[in-house]
């Protein structure tokens, strides 16, 4: 027995994903028979408002209709007749992460149904092996099928990198799409680190921050506040920044993130093992004078790469230079407080890691 139908919103030819999102044909202009592909996202067992997809799929002058979305949302097939086409045909676009899609490619050119045949209403079998579609003259068409591997033949090789234009470059357009698999999974490491400090004796916790007797001038205070503002901004933005799952971007970014987390852990342990009123020179501090700052930059960079985001990468670069200013002030403080012991340490230990020491005359 069927239940009562529940309205979702305007649209025709619904096709759904494993996560519950529904893709439909949305009529933009009934007089011009102009349609577009839209999406209803399922959130907390409810559907949101219709989101019209970007112009790589929807063209302002040509209709896009009758979508079929892969269950994993990795590709979208739809009908359209674009500039230069002599017939209605099937087009395919590949998801590049979040709301980004590759430029639509003519699928009908690969189907060999004839130059006068119109192709419509594509669907793929549940096992993903077969592509079914209608083809023929208007008002008279037949059902055809082909092996679904034809889809993979059209998948751009660069979608391994999933840039905003399908060529593998980072996204120049800032992404803004709240979700579970977003960059916050990287940035949460800092709040978690601070929470772990509550179980560490207070004197050790105090040593992980700026020394109490370190006096910053006005410029230093401004730089410190700016670094804090950028951290808050980066953390908030990470909530809305989708990771490029299933891509090389994510693999490389995750690698940088893991290295950054390990450095942060070992730096915290090195601080805990250092005697009071002694400079941090043991443990991981033998390889880097500022491993905590280094870990932060690696986590930032990992998030930027995993999300393929130029904006987040820019935030990372700015944060690096703000931290570099603080690092120089801290080194001046340590030279004044510890004298020759710290100077000798600076001579043999790089400021960051794997780089030549930065000597201050």
Topology classification of domain 12-155: Neuraminidase (2.120.10)
Please check the confidence at residue 68 and state whether its pLDDT lies above 80.
Answer: yes
The CATH class for the domain spanning 184-348 reads mainly alpha
Do 105 and 154 touch, CB atoms closer than 8 A? yes
Q: 3-state DSSP call for residue 109?
A: helix
Q: Is the pTM value of this prediction over 0.75?
A: no
CB atoms within 10 A of CB 60: 8
- CA dist., res. 220 & res. 153, Å (int): 56
**pLDDT band, very low/low/confident/very high, at 285 (cuts 50, 70, 90):** confident
Give residue 212's pLDDT.
Answer: 59
Give the Å distances, CA to CA, from 27 to 37, 64, 99, 204, 259.
Answer: 9, 9, 20, 64, 50
| pLDDT single digits (tens) 158-194 | 354 444 444 445 555 556 677 778 889 999 988 888 7
CB atoms within 10 A of CB 166: 22
Please state at what angle helix 310-338 crosses helix 340-348, rounded to 10 degrees: 140
**pLDDT band, very low/low/confident/very high, at 253 (cuts 50, 70, 90):** very high
**pLDDT band, very low/low/confident/very high, at 195 (cuts 50, 70, 90):** confident
| pLDDT single digits (tens) 314-352 | 999 999 998 888 888 888 888 888 888 888 888 888 888
Please check the confidence at residue 53 and state whether its pLDDT lies above 90.
Answer: no
| pLDDT single digits (tens) 11-46 | 888 999 988 899 999 887 766 667 899 999 888 888
More confident residue, 14 or 218: 14
Give residue 190's pLDDT.
Answer: 86
CA torsion, ordered 129, 75, 137, 126, to nearest 10 deg: 30
**pLDDT band, very low/low/confident/very high, at 204 (cuts 50, 70, 90):** low
Please state at what angle helix 189-196 crosses helix 291-306, rounded to 10 degrees: 150
**pLDDT band, very low/low/confident/very high, at 123 (cuts 50, 70, 90):** very high
Do 24 and 4 touch, CB atoms closer than 8 A? no
Domains of the chain, by residue range, sit at: 12-155, 184-348
CB atoms within 10 A of CB 352: 19
What does the mean pLDDT of the chain come to?
81
Give residue 193's pLDDT.
Answer: 80
């Amino acid at each position: 027995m069927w239940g009562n139908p529940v309205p979702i919103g305007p649209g025709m030819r619904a096709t759904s994903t494993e996560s519950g999102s529904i893709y439909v044909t949305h009529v933009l202009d009934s007089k011009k028979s102009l349609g577009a592909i839209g999406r209803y996202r399922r959130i907390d067992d409810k559907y949101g408002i219709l989101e019209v997809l970007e112009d790589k799929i929807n063209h302002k002058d040509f209709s896009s209709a009758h979508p079929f979305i892969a269950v994993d949302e990795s590709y979208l097939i739809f009908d359209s007749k674009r500039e230069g086409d002599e017939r209605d045909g099937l087009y395919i676009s590949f998801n590049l992460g979040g709301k980004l899609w590759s430029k639509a490619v003519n699928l009908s050119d690969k189907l060999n149904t004839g130059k006068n045949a119109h192709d419509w209403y594509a669907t793929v079998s549940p096992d993903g092996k077969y592509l079914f579609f209608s083809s023929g003259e208007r008002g008279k068409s037949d059902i055809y099928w082909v092996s679904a591997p034809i889809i993979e033949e059209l998948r751009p090789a660069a979608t391994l990198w999933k840039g905003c234009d399908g060529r593998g470059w980072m996204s120049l357009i800032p992404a803004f799409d709240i979700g579970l698999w977003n960059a916050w999974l990287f940035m949460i490491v800092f709040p978690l680190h601070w929470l772990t400090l509550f179980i560490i004796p207070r004197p050790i916790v105090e040593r992980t921050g700026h020394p109490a007797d370190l006096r910053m001038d006005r410029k230093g205070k401004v730089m410190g506040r700016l670094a804090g503002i950028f951290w808050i901004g980066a953390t908030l933005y990470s909530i809305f920044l989708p990771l490029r799952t299933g891509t090389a971007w994510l693999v490389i970014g995750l690698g940088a993130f893991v290295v950054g987390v390990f450095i942060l852990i070992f730096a915290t342990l090195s601080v805990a093992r250092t005697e009071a009123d002694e400079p941090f020179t043991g443990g991981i501090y033998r390889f880097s004078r500022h491993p905590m700052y280094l870990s932060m930059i690696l986590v930032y960079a990992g998030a930027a790469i995993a999300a393929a985001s130029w904006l987040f990468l820019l935030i990372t670069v700015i944060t690096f230079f703000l931290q570099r200013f603080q690092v120089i002030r801290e080194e001046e403080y340590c030279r004044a407080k510890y004298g020759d012991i710290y100077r000798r340490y600076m001579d043999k230990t790089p400021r960051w890691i794997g780089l030549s020491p930065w000597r201050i005359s």
